[in-house]
Amino acid sequence: MLVVDPRMAGISGDMLVSALADLTGMEDAIREVAEVVSGTLDRVERLEVEFRDVRRGGLRGRRMMVNLVERPGSMMASDALEQVEKMCRELDLGERASNLVRSVFRELADAEISVHGYEPEKAHFHELGSADTFLDVLGVAYLLQRSGLIEEPVHTTPPALGGGHVRISHGYLPVPAPAVLEILRRHGYRISSVPVEAELTTPTGAALLVNLASKVVDTLPPMRIDGIGVGAGERELEGVPNLLRIVRGGESGRAEVVALLETNVDDVSGEVLGHLIGRMMELGALDVSVIPIMGKKGRPAHLIRVISKPWMAEELANLLMMETGSLGVRLMNVPRVVAEREIRTIRVELAGGEFEVRVKVSRVGDRIVGVKPEHDDLKRISARTGLPLRRVEELVRSRLPPVD
């Protein structure tokens, strides 16, 4: 899992990019994004990116330095979404990464509509239409895809918002900005309180956070720490290190305890059950299954079974009751043994083109038990080449290098 930690200094788009670049070491990927953004947006005259180590509050962090020259102006929300689609195609973003980018920009547009009272067709961006915003949002999605982290669940601590005021094109606004409060309100986020007279969480940072993280946690969950990325904010803050941490980790060992949720339903349609499975997985369930059973009085019924992390059980049980009308959910903590898994990225040549494919390698001890190409990558290649999905999988499997 990934745990984003904005509880002390909040989150902005550039801090998140910087933290992910620090975690993955893939700074060149952001330079690729900068080239696509500057080549797509007509008003950008120069967009250059470099990374530096800086100190904030006496601690080291990685800082993305952006040299941007662009002509001033605003952008209609509809135009921004159209530009986003072009950039996603140019970067060859997969379905999951592209959906993240779309969701973040729609989140920003909806917040603008709400706080400014725009009619939807007249919504437009000022600061949010800058190349900075495109760079931050696309940069996060591209880094997650290139590093193989796009599939990992993301949790966050409550974000700090800050105080005082900030100057934008409309004039002065209170901190937190209205768009930030609106985004967090829509998703029911808890917040952290830090006495700092500065904008800590920006609208772009908030929109990225709510579309990435499936759970707000007060502290880091029990985990084995595999990596830490630290992104630095633009300036020093009095009394608070202006840093955003991302911690990557997994379970400490192959044995773990999971929550098992069960309920029986006999009056829920197949469409509702399908919708429920999607909602459960989006919220962070590890697995959802629906099993046909015979209920009381000979009625056909379904057993819904959900596996989750223990700390998510109550939230998932509430969703299960709300979506199905069930009056109760059975909860059990059960042990399980899991294979160790890692994601590797390989390049394969198919139909005259070269494509990146993530491959999940599963092990039990020193023995490999599974090597599986990621389904979303196979779908993307199928769409690009016109080859049937089944044929793409056969060809990719035949080109997999030996796994040690």
In a domain, 403, yes or no: no
Where do the H-state alpha helices sit in 91-224? 95-116, 131-147, 178-186, 203-212
| pLDDT value of position 119 | 67
Domain CATH number, residue 385: 3.10.20.300
Measured between alpha carbons, how far is 208 from 222 in angstroms, rounded to an integer?
A: 24
| 208 and 314 share one domain | no
Domain assignment present for 139: yes
Report helix angle 77-90 to 131-147, nearest 10.
40
CA 234 vs. chain centroid, Å, equals: 23
Task: Tell me which amino acid residue 21 is.
Answer: A
Q: Residue 72 domain-assigned?
A: yes
On whether both 8 and 27 belong to a single domain, the answer is: yes
Q: Within a 10 A sphere around the Cβ of 187, how many other Cβ atoms?
A: 14
Return the pLDDT at 254.
60
291 vs 48: CA distance, rounded Å: 54
Q: Is 301 found in the same domain as 238? A: no
Q: Are residues 105 and 22 in the same domain?
A: yes
Asked, for residue 404, whether it belongs to a domain, the answer is no
Which residues on adjacent β-strands are paired with residue 300?
294
End of a domain among 205, 234, 250? 250
Residue 122 sits in the same domain as residue 35: yes
C-alpha 123/C-alpha 215 separation (Å) is 30
pLDDT value, residue 163: 86
Asked if 317 and 345 sit in the same domain, the reply is no
Write down the pLDDT at residue 350.
Answer: 83
Write down the pLDDT at residue 369. 82
Give the pLDDT confidence score for residue 271 in this predicted structure.
92
Cα-based distances in Å from 185 to 3, 107, 179, 239, 387: 21, 12, 10, 28, 44
- The secondary structure element, H or E, covering residue 282 is helix 270-283
- Give residue 274's pLDDT: 93
Of 250, 272, 306, which marks where a domain is finished? 250
Domain boundary among 302, 322, 337: 337
d(CA 120, CA 109) in angstroms, rounded, equals: 8
Structural domain that includes position 216: 2-250
In-domain check, residue 314: yes
34 located within any domain: yes
Shared domain for 125 and 31, answered yes or no, is: yes
Q: Are residues 103 and 193 in the same domain?
A: yes
Is residue 272 located within the same domain as residue 168?
A: no
In a domain, 291, yes or no: yes
Give residue 137's pLDDT.
97
Residue keyed to tokens 């079974």: 305
- What is the tally of structural domains in the chain? 3
Short-list 156, 171, 169, CA closest to 201? 156
Is 311 a domain residue?
Answer: yes
332 and 198 in one domain?
A: no
The stretches in the chain having pLDDT less than 50 are 253
277 and 239 in a common domain: no
My answer on whether 278 and 348 are in the same domain is no
What is the b/e burial string over 352-361, where b = at least 16 CB atoms within 10 angstroms of the residue's CB?
eeebbbbbbb
> pTM of the predicted model, to two decimals?
0.65
Predicted confidence at residue 112, as pLDDT, reads 82
The CATH number that applies at residue 287 is: 3.30.70.1380
